[in-house]
Amino acid sequence: MANEIYPVSWWGNPVQNGWGGIYYDFAYPSAIPSLLTTLQARASYYENVTCTTATLTELENIE
């Protein structure tokens, strides 16, 4: 519609390390930050965040 900014962007169907890869993270936002934020909020102790993020990232990359 004229004079209206699109409320949602369509990033296509990019491939992570291929066609449209620079749009990949926009098209498929990671669930990891939200999961870890919730986890930290209810934990008395939280550590080893680097390895945890790495492990979750690996899982997120497995179809």
Partner 1 sequence: MADNLLDKASILLTPTAYDNGSMLSIKPENGDGDFDFERNSAATRVNAQGLVENVQIISPELVSNGNFSQIGTEEVLNGNFSQEGSELVTNGDFSVDSNWNKGTGWSISGGKASCDGSQTSNSLFFQNIGSLANKTVKFSFTLSNYVSGQINTAFFSASGTTSYVASANGDYTFYIDVASGHNGNTGFTANSDFIGSIDNVSIKEVAQNWTLGSGWSVDQDNSKAICDGTQTSTSTLQSARISNIQNDLVKLSFEIKDYSAGAVSVTLEGTGGIEFNNLAANGVYEINVASTDSLPRLLFNANSSFETLGWGLLKATVIKSINIPARKNRIFDHMNGSTLPTIILLVE
> 13, 24 in Cβ contact below 8 A?
no
What is the smallest separation between the CB atom of 53 and partner 1, expressed in angstroms? 10
**By C-beta, is 12 or 54 nearer to partner 1?**
54
Q: DSSP label at 47?
A: -
Give contact residues for partner 1 (rule: CB under 8 A). 16, 28, 31-32, 35-36, 38-40, 42-49, 51-52, 54-56, 59-63
Q: Which is nearer to partner 1, 5 or 10 (CB)?
A: 10
Helix (H) or strand (E) holding 54: helix 49-60
For partner 1, the closer CB: 9 or 61:
61
36 and 53 Cβ atoms separated by less than 8 Å: yes
